Structure 1
Amino acid sequence: MILRSLLYVPASAERFVSKAHERGADAVILDLEDSVEEGSKDAARAALAVAVPHVAQNGAKAYVRVNVGPRMGDDARAAVAAGAQGLVLPKADSVAAVNALLAELGDADDGTIDILAIIEDAVGLLEARQVAAHPRVLAVSLGAEDFATSTGAEPVPEVLKLPKLMVHYAAKAEGKLSLGMLRSIADFDDGDGLVAAAKEAARFGFDGSSCIHPKVVPVLNEAFSPSEAAVARARQIVAAAEDAAATGTGAFLLDGEFIDLPVLNRAKAVLAKVGEAA
């Protein structure tokens, strides 16, 4: 699955919801949690019936971030009833947290609802691989602001880089999507910084990132998409490898570049990002 950009939208803010489908994001996350104040949470949940199909009308995935605690079950069931393709689970500090969400869904869960798990504290960080290994978890990320708060740290890149990478590698170890940048997504006005951070995350192998402002969506879409030159080179490598295999050759030189299995697999991964089977 391709998830380069995931745009958070408060489910209580109709003026943001109404235009979310126009922003070009691969997924829209209708938020019932932190961006919705307590007195508006019930109304935000009720609004999902209209909001979920609305944000998905141009092909974006429609996800819902639920509250943990007493509201979680009602949030999750309302999201699924509205047609959401996945649930974003905050404070996913253990496999038990994922199972608790699925248990709350009960008969509403037909086995197709994806879970996007957010690690937000030190306990979750140390359990990240087990969370990622859960068969229903599609993607894992680190919630920078909450993680920093829970550990008494500042949400600056030098502090966040290590825990972000730990969660990233936990996701990759289990073959799951890794979402995020090596910084907080809260500072969306730092244009040059965001571009650099998105490109950095792509170099490390992150698959995409969430964002809280629509102007960041095109930045993420570009950074987490291979360039035309990269796609063309990947096609050359795959084609040359097929020719070499036909003659019984494994590793070979292509335009002076040594091509072996890891290089071939990277080329295939590039093509997969643009929907081409190699």
Structure 2
Amino acid sequence: MRSKLFVPCTRPELFAKALDSAADGICLDLEDAVSEARKDEARDCVRQLLAGVDAAADGKTLIVRVNAMDTPHFERDVAAVAMPGVHLVNLPKPESPAHVQAAAEAIERAERTHGVTTPIGLLLNIETPSALRMASQLALAHPRVKGLQLGLGDLFEPLGIARRAPEAIQQAMFAVRIAAGEAGVYAYDSAFADIRDAEGFRAEAKLARNLGFLGKTCIHPSQVAIANEVFRPTDDEIAHACKVVEAAREADAKGIGAYVVDGKMIDIPFVLRARAIVESARGLGLLPG
């Protein structure tokens, strides 16, 4: 999921456009994009979409961002959206492993009600100081957790940290990526609010990619193509990875533990990375299956 496009749930006229877009995933937002007075309306719009065939047939990763657990909306959100076709529930501001476990239990109850047979995963927002400190504990709290998503605006603004400060961004990204790595889940990058600054979006996406993030959140369709380009493995990376994978097969057959490919010493960590690149390239249709 190189790109994930946010769609306000009170804008059902945008649903079809988002599903037809080049985004790998769409995130139907019940939280920040919906005013208090329109929460019920937003849930109804999501229910109507999920009851149709478009969302299930589209092939995109379908995510719903619910309201935080300390709001009166969380239980009703989950009960409304834990339906067939939803891949992930995006949980804002988890405060503890117990919060994550309680969210997973709420999703499981709703799944039974709606006859969901494929478990819905959790994408946890890391957007508070406490969540950043305990990010690995949150990620390890339940098997439903599939990824950690960095929320730089919510994390930085209350602390007076400049949203565009590169040293702060890099430290927060690194901390989330290492926590995700400890838990064996993916790290996903934050939204970028300045829609007009395409190069700023691109630079932040490149930093995230270099730190091992899976993709970047998009708040406008114009950002999708940039995210897809940045998080796509390059032709050179694919070619080198294919060589490494083939060399690994030959080395395994000969009982060799370390060897050289394109002048670089290769051992297990490099092979694992190469296999991931090849798998990604195949998933994007850049290599034959």
Partner of 1:167: 176
Q: Determine if contact 1:94/1:128 at 8 Å carries over to the other structure.
A: no
Does residue 1:4 correspond to 2:11, yes or no? no
Partner of 2:15: 17
CA shift, 1:244, in A, is 2.4
Pick aligned residue for 1:138 from 138, 146, 162: 146
Pairing 1:25-64 to 2, within 5 Å after superposition: 25-52=23-50, 53=52, 54-64=54-64
Task: State the SS of the aligned residue for 1:274.
Answer: helix
Task: State the SS of the aligned residue for 1:116.
Answer: strand
TM-score, length basis structure 2: 0.87
Pick aligned residue for 2:259 from 252, 258, 264: 252
Question: Which range moves more in the overlay, 66-75 or 108-117?
Answer: 108-117
Q: Determine if contact 2:93/2:126 at 8 Å carries over to the other structure.
A: yes
Task: State the SS of the aligned residue for 2:86.
Answer: coil
| Ranges of 4+ aligned residues in structure 1 off by more than 4 Å | none
Partner of 1:207: 214
Partner of 2:65: 65
CA distance in 2, matches of 1:265, 1:106: 33
Which amino acid in 2 is paired with 1:44? Answer: A
CA distance in 2, matches of 1:70, 1:81: 20
CA shift, 1:82, in A, is 6.1
CA shift, 1:56, in A, is 4.8
Partner of 2:126: 119
User: Number of matched residues?
Assistant: 274
Task: State the SS of the aligned residue for 1:112.
Answer: coil
CA distance in 2, matches of 1:105, 1:268: 33
Q: Determine if contact 2:55/2:85 at 8 Å carries over to the other structure.
A: no
CA distance in 1, matches of 2:273, 2:93: 33
CA distance in 1, matches of 2:243, 2:274: 9
Which amino acid in 2 is paired with 1:25? Answer: A
Pick aligned residue for 1:102 from 72, 96, 104: 104
Pairing 1:159-238 to 2, within 5 Å after superposition: 159-180=168-189, 185-238=192-245
Task: State the SS of the aligned residue for 2:20.
Answer: coil
CA distance in 2, matches of 1:82, 1:254: 45
What stretches of structure 1 of length at least 5 have no aligned partner? none
Distance 1:23 1:251, change over 3 A: same
CA shift, 1:106, in A, is 5.1
What stretches of structure 2 of length at least 5 have no aligned partner? 113-117
CA displacement, residues 24-77 of structure 1 (integer Å, 9 cap, x when unaligned): 212110000001112221101001122245345421111111112111011111
RMSD of equivalent CA atoms: 2.1
> Taking every aligned residue pair, what percent have the same amino acid on both sides?
35
Partner of 2:273: 266
CA distance in 1, matches of 2:220, 2:55: 15
TM-score, length basis structure 1: 0.90
Q: Determine if contact 1:93/1:120 at 8 Å carries over to the other structure.
A: no
CA shift, 1:118, in A, is 0.3
